[in-house]
Amino acid sequence: TAASETLGFQAEVKQLLHLMIHSLYSNKEIFLRELVSNASDACDKLRFEAIDNPALLEGGGELAIHVSYDKAARTITVSDNGIGLTREDAIANLGTIARSGTREFFSRLTGDQQADAQLIGQFGVGFYASFIVASKVTVLSRRAGAPAGEAVRWESSGDGEFTIAQTEKATRGTDVILTLREGEDDFLSGWRLREILRRYSDHISLPIRMKKEEWDADKGEQVQRDEEETVNQASALWTRAKNEITDEQYREFYKHVSHDFDDPLAWTHNRVEGRSEYTQLLYVPKHAPFDLWDRNGKRGVKLYVKRVFIMDDAEQLLPAYLRFVRGVIDSADLPLNVSREILQESRDVRAIREGSTKRILSLLEDLAENRKDDYATFWSAFGQVLKEGTGEDATNLERIAKLLRFASTHTGTDEQTVSLADYVSRMKEGQDKIYYVTAETFATAANSPHLEVFRKKGVEVLLLTDRVDEWMLSYLREFDGKQLVSVAKGSLDLGGMADEQEKKQQAEVAESVKPLVERLKTALEGRVKDVRVTFRLVDSPACVVADEHDLGQNLQRLLKAAGQ
């Protein structure tokens, strides 16, 4: 029907629009970047679907984005001839926030404008950024392959409702038309729009076209000609030579592929030739996405084959413990019709995964070595995920171990800054083991009675309080030839650190308290495995320890909590 229908936004969208208009206002020109990014994604999707179904191209194969403005009507239009939207797509994608992590995002809003602005920047708002500058947004779209009469017209003033109606559209794809708010007329300028496009969208691999302009002396203003020109470089960024790409371009490309509004922390860009041929441009973000801990959340990088977009979130291209990495991998070997199932089996994919893993580990090593502050940022965002690598990636265990950071009795704070190499460099004369204690909180670990003798002897102990730690320790058994040992397990052997005199004294004391030990054993019968004299305590009279071969207490607690 031609009738138009009015529908309400999902509650979160209303809330977000309101917040966003205020908090992102100082950076309002990003609306254009977001619209161009979506237009490019839409073309990528069409190119991919057309591999199996060339009819979708409707005879017009050249994909491009057009940006235009109309001073009289006060509109800016971004058009693409990509995949387009059906009525259902428009309702689902332009009226809701379908991203995972949305709930988490809203739960973290505080009402403090500055803090919330930062959070919004991290979350990213995509299409809705249009409403920062537009009082009305109109979307005209026709899904590729649908008849001209089955196009959709979506319109909203961003105040909680949108209307949707069926309409005619001769060409496939989407026009997004912004009617500018009062006071935003600066954007009605070819010069200004070109500047924004070059700044934020130069990396887009499709041509972005605008009408040429020339100075009209009679009218005393710039006038638009009918002829168009391409205003970006229009080549896939990752195919360009490294020295022809600026840091700014690398950063903007990251925002496009990751949908993150913030800059990346670091990146690595390489073309690999040989047994398997591919280009990789991989980024480490600055902060964790809202769904890092959601097992069903998006992860992985974008896969291209010979510059054709194949899929988002190709998780097979990296191991799970590197799921924070974003970027693109463009393979020259995989078939264009590759599916997720094929990816799982492919030898080429295995080669890519191994190669990319090594690149990321090198990148992290470089950060740890040369950009310590950035490494600390990385560690606090993703350290717990990287620890999973100790169990997941036996091949690279040693490299991962070097990248780990811990809290320890040496620094005495809960900040995880101590590497195993740092620890080893501070080991005492005669010490041949790396000692650690695990606990649920930093306070419990730092106040553990097990630490007393270590403090007395000035021996450093790592304080491990992350959930993954005990699991990690079952894989990470030694470092640099030194065993990792819990201070809470079994009888404590301080190796060469106890001197002869001390040993003799201890033997005498042990002999003299034997009757007491026997009485305790009887009293505690059935409740403990053994009662022993210990010299590991300094101030505390007694403590409970796990047997050498028992699970750590923390792990026991976790298993119990999980009903095991």
Q: Which residues are annotated as a binding site?
A: 34, 38, 80, 93, 100-101, 122-127, 174, 340
Contact present, 86 and 139 (Cβ < 8 Å): no
Question: Which tokens go with 172?
Answer: 């496939």
Q: Confirm or reject binding of residue 39 to ligand ADP (CB under 6 A).
A: yes
Q: With CA atoms as reference, report the closest residue to 360 among 391, 315, 326.
A: 326
CB of 166 to ligand ADP, least distance (A): 17
Among the listed residues 262, 268, 13, the one whose alpha carbon sits nearest the alpha carbon of residue 119: 262
**Considering CB distances under 5 to 8 angstroms, the limit depending on partner class, which of Mg ion, ligand ADP, none binds residue 42?**
ligand ADP
Closer by beta carbon to Mg ion, 319 or else 327: 327
User: Site for ligand ADP (CB under 6 A): which residue of 32, 44, 82, 260?
Assistant: 82
From Mg ion, ligand ADP, none, interface partner of 285 (C-beta below 5 to 8 A by class) = none
* Shortest separation between residue 146's beta carbon and ligand ADP, angstroms: 13
Residue 39 contact partner, candidates Mg ion, ligand ADP, none, CB within 5 to 8 A by sort of partner:
ligand ADP
| 127 forms part of the interface with ligand ADP (CB under 6 A) | yes
Q: Is 80 in the site for ligand ADP (CB under 6 A)?
A: yes
42 binds ligand ADP per the rule CB under 6 A = yes
Q: Which is nearer to Mg ion, 45 or 399 (CB)?
A: 45
The binder of 282, among ligand ADP, Mg ion, none, by C-beta within 5 to 8 A per type, is none
Q: Give the number of other Cβ atoms within 10 Å of residue 479's Cβ.
A: 19
The answer for residues whose C-beta is within 8 angstroms of residue 40's C-beta and 6 or more apart is: 65, 80, 82, 204, 205, 206, 256
Residues 299, 313 contacting (CB under 8 angstroms): yes
Q: Based on the shown chain and the rule CB under 6 A, indicate whether residue 174 belongs to the binding site for ligand ADP.
A: yes
**Cβ pair 523, 515 in contact under 8 A:** no
Of residues 101, 7, 27, 78, the one with CA closest to residue 297 = 101
Q: Are 231 and 69 in contact (CB under 8 A)?
A: no
Q: Is 258 in the site for ligand ADP (CB under 6 A)?
A: no
Instruction: Point out which span in 36-44, 233-241, 433-441, 468-476 binds ligand ADP (CB under 6 A).
Output: 36-44
Binding region for Mg ion (CB under 5 A): 37-38, 126
Q: Shortest approach of ligand ADP to residue 483 CB, angstroms? A: 48
Tokens in use for 552? Answer: 């750590």
- Contact between 235 and 244 under an 8 Å Cβ cutoff? The reply is no
**DSSP three-state, residue 82:** coil
Take residue 475 and report the two structure tokens written for it. 């894989």
* Secondary structure (DSSP) of 536-564: S-SS-S----B-TTSPPHHHHHHHHHTT-
Say whether residue 17 binds ligand ADP (CB under 6 A). no
Q: Report how far residue 349's alpha carbon sits from residue 314's, in angstroms, rounded to the nearest whole number.
A: 10
Which stretch in 31-39, 187-195, 201-209, 460-468 sits in contact with ligand ADP by CB under 6 A? 31-39
Partner interacting with residue 174 (select from Mg ion, ligand ADP, none; CB below 5-8 Å by kind): ligand ADP
The interface mask with ligand ADP, positions 132-171, x = CB under 6 A, is ----------------------------------------
Residue of 491, 477, 468 lying closest to 555 (CA atoms): 468
Contact residue for ligand ADP among 85, 208, 281, 338 (CB under 6 A): 85
Applying CB under 6 A, the residues found at the interface with ligand ADP are 34, 38-39, 41-42, 80, 82-83, 85, 93-94, 126-127, 174, 259
